[in-house]
Structure 1
């Protein structure tokens, strides 16, 4: 019933693919953090810093890496959510029924509907702000019932509404990509993920742990201040 053109689908899928590649923009920033830390590590090996002072330098570098990763994933997630909303707004016609007589009539009809009829009503009217409001009012009315079965139906209808999504491949791919980015962000306190996708938008998870990053820069800095050109964390990702 709600169908977009192939041109619209391709446009927004290409936007999604462009946005998710922005994750790699965190790599140069993390490289710079590691190079600066490596210089301090070298000075530590020369006896210029106490262990206590250097531990603070290490802690700050680790936190800077975590913040860089979290911020980048958040930026990508926000952009994906925004484009998904743009797709909804531009490709699916939204409306708002304002005729009070019609709204009053529909409200009375909802009181007589069973669970399956209410679900069908929501599916047909989920793009209409006032119709959805009537649906919510009816759910709230039924929630006040003392009938156990009615309470059970209310819970199922509310769950149905919360989980409802347009059966559209573009929205499905956006939601899957957003879910993957949220997952990658959630572990960024210890592991930095660089999601990669094939031609079918299937993700492969390539990553490097923060511990591995510091082992790498320690080795680079053991005998001298590291050269910026020699530090690229993408080469460590596996």
Structure 2
């Protein structure tokens, strides 16, 4: 009998190489999640006081994992988070997708004060003022190193001045998510070298836009909201994992 090798539907070697490469990248990003969490436990004494530190670090590691799956929508991001990155949700995937679709800001490029306007009444004037400051820090950024340092200083001040109420913790969570987002994205690369915005490169502007989306996402939809918002935002940027 004549062999049917010629008409075989077996995957091409290139396909397997791509699949294995992606699997390796996802595996590395899960390792990143554990490393970020470990770093949170050994952070500087001031930042280690943030009770939201470990959660933020681990969540941004998961965001890295989902980004590497090339998900670009809320639906795809949540499915990838669970099926490929092994995140444990406390409710069905469909419910999470519906919830995030309802609460995540439609324009994640708008100032935080505007994105968070629907939930502003949950916060005191002092608490909401930190989101205004976050906007100012993001807009003034000249490098990822400087941005990370500015966020760390803001976090230290917030830890000293805020209490530990539910709303205080939400503010601290947003700042910590921002700081770890910058740490993650600073290790990414740009897909093309194009300079604009008063001498700042598109890479930095992209980092700022993604971080702003992450903050709005976590404040509106919790840790999973922050992860998914970041995944959606980075899909529009020139930033990609290294």
TM-score, L = length of structure 1: 0.30
The higher radius of gyration belongs to: 1
Relative to its length, the structure with more strand (as a share) is 1
TM-score, L = length of structure 2: 0.30
